[in-house]
């Protein structure tokens, strides 16, 4: 039976527009559902709402009125960024109305298999690598999800000759019921988004949803070096495919005698890999496992690993000015990501860090600050980062208003051979719309140094 038929005649409330809500509303309408779209932004200037109304889809803008729940509602499709503490969503939970995100819709309408990737850090790098490795494999990879293109939109257009390579967040995965990837990858788990999920346990549970509906015919790729990840993966019914950057395994992906292996097959010598950093070796192992399982050739994987140097905003080399190498790691939105970035460099580092205050301290980052020559702190967490830097024995600590102010201040204390690194260890939302905007402002400020 085509599961898409289940939506015909159902009353669906789509909460939150943006790209994912717009795609979900269109798909559900085309499947015969009675769709109402609710967006917090006002109707004036809301192009998505205007486009939906042209298809005779009802829109309610300018807030999230509880009265929407007094009308028939069989299902809510929630924008991942809207927390469950939102009054409308909270009341829907109380009334036991099912709530999903658009990736649930994607799973149901997709004709292509889904290769899903999640984790606290490294999702974008791993997803990008996997997609590139699968080029020319016989099944066209379509990269989507949290990486930029809405998964349900791509799923609705997909064919069985394609494979959907999806980067997924905990926000997206929490809103799933039947979501079923053919290959699921869990990279790591670190305390993140606790303001959204409430606890690390609930955050891990959300990530673990990636394995929940897998069967014996599927594959669960997981980081064997992370106990929490292993615990979640071992509950899956799928065939387990571990990877490890520190131990030689009998299966999956691992490093032995200076080479990267997938089961008994040597894939590439580690010194031939272009992407630096131990944390990236873990991402590479995960991508190799996923890509091999999906049909990628050894030769194509080698070509990608010899040439791929990273994605924008993730340890992206920006420029070299007066002998100072400058890197943009704006996507490092938590302590683990920044710690990993610091571990990738041997040269003295001038660290630019700060952003949204989620209530945590930065003491866990102190062991990784030994190679930091100076730090420039900005944003809501500036004082907390200053405190951690003093505990770490960093003598040069500078306060800045924002990233644009931090760049010249950081450069002023850098010497020939140093690294100037933006790796904020925090989300961007206190001062910027996204980590991308923050990274772009950093890049613009670097260009002004010349």
Q: Is 149 annotated as a binding residue?
A: no
CB count within 10 Å of CB 374 equals 22
Q: 195 near 159, Cβ under 8 Å?
A: no
Using CA atoms, how far residue 1 sits from 30, 176, 414, in Å, is: 18, 20, 64
Q: Is 120 annotated as a binding residue?
A: yes
Residue where the block lists tokens 């980081």: 223
Catalytic residue among 29, 78, 180, 193: 193
Q: 204 near 189, Cβ under 8 Å?
A: yes
CA–CA dist 397, 399 (Å, integer): 7
Cβ burial, residue 219 (10 Å; 0-12/13-18/19+): buried
Q: Which residues contact 157 (CB under 8 A, 6 or more apart)?
A: none
Q: Is 338 annotated as a binding residue?
A: no
CB count within 10 Å of CB 103 equals 31
Q: Is 434 annotated as a binding residue?
A: no
Maximal CA-CA distance, the chain:
67
Q: Is 433 annotated as a binding residue?
A: no
Angle between helix 47-54 and helix 18-30 axes, rounded to 10 deg: 10
Q: Which residues contact 240 (CB under 8 A, 6 or more apart)?
A: 220, 222, 233, 234, 252
Q: Is 119 annotated as a binding residue?
A: yes
146 is catalytic: yes
Residue by residue, DSSP assigns 353-376 as EE----S--SGGGGGGGTTEEEEE
Catalytic residue among 146, 213, 328, 402: 146
Catalytic residue among 123, 180, 325, 331: 123
Q: Which residues contact 211 (CB under 8 A, 6 or more apart)?
A: 184, 186, 220, 232, 233, 235, 236, 238
CA–CA dist 92, 377 (Å, integer): 41
CA–CA dist 262, 107 (Å, integer): 28
Q: Which two tokens stand for residue 300?
A: 């194509």
Q: Is 121 annotated as a binding residue?
A: yes
DSSP state of 348: -
Q: Which residues contact 410 (CB under 8 A, 6 or more apart)?
A: 350, 351, 352, 374, 376, 398, 420
Closest CA to 301 of 363, 343, 259: 259
193 is catalytic: yes
Residue where the block lists tokens 């001038």: 350
Q: 143 near 117, Cβ under 8 Å?
A: no
Provide the 3-class DSSP secondary structure of residue 230. Answer: helix
Residue ranges for the known binding site are 119-125
Active site residues: 123, 146, 193
Residue ranges for the known binding site for ATP are 119-125
């Amino acid at each position: 039976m085509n599961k898409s038929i289940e939506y015909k005649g159902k009353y669906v409330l789509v909460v939150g527009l943006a790209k994912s809500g717009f795609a979900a509303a269109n798909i559900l309408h085309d499947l015969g559902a009675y769709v109402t779209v609710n967006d917090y932004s006002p109707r004036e200037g809301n192009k998505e709402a205007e486009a939906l109304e042209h298809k005779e889809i009802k829109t309610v803008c300018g807030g999230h009125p509880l009265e929407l729940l007094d009308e028939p509602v069989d299902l809510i499709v929630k924008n991942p960024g809207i927390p469950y503490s939102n009054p409308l969503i909270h009341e829907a939970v109380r009334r036991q109305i099912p709530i999903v995100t658009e990736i649930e819709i994607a799973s149901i309408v997709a004709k292509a298999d889904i290769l899903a990737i999640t984790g606290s850090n490294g999702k974008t790098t791993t997803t990008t690598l996997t997609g590139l490795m699968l080029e020319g494999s016989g099944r066209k990879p379509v990269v989507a999800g949290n990486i930029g293109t809405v998964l349900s939109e791509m799923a609705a257009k997909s064919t069985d000759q394609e494979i959907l390579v999806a980067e997924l967040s905990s926000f997206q995965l929490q809103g799933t019921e039947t979501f079923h990837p053919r290959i699921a990858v869990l990279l790591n788990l670190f305390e993140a988004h606790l303001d959204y999920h409430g606890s690390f346990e609930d955050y891990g549970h959300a990530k673990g949803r990636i394995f929940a509906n897998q069967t014996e015919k599927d594959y669960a790729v997981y980081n064997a070096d992370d106990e929490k990840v292993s615990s979640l993966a071992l509950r899956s019914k799928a065939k387990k495919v571990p990877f490890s950057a520190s131990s030689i395994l009998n299966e999956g992906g691992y490093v032995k005698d200076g080479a990267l292996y997938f089961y008994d097959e040597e894939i590439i010598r580690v010194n031939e890999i272009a992407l630096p950093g131990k944390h990236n070796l873990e991402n590479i192992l995960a991508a190799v496992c996923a890509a091999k399982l999906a049909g990628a050739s050894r030769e194509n994987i080698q070509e990608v690993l010899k040439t791929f140097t990273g994605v924008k905003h993730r340890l992206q080399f920006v420029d070299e000015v007066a002998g100072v190498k400058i890197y943009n790691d704006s996507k490092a939105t938590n302590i683990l990501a920044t710690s990993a970035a610091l571990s990738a460099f041997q040269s003295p580092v001038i660290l630019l860090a700060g952003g949204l205050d989620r209530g945590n301290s930065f003491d866990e980052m102190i062991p990784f600050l030994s190679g930091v020559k100076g730090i420039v702190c900005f944003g809501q967490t500036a004082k907390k980062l200053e405190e951690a830097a003093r505990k770490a024995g960093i003598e040069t600590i500078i306060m800045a208003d924002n990233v644009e102010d931090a760049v010249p201040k950081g450069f002023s204390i850098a010497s020939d051979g140093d690294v100037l690194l933006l790796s904020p260890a925090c989300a961007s939302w206190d001062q910027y719309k996204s980590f991308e905007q923050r990274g772009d402002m950093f890049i613009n400020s670097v260009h002004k140094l010349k």
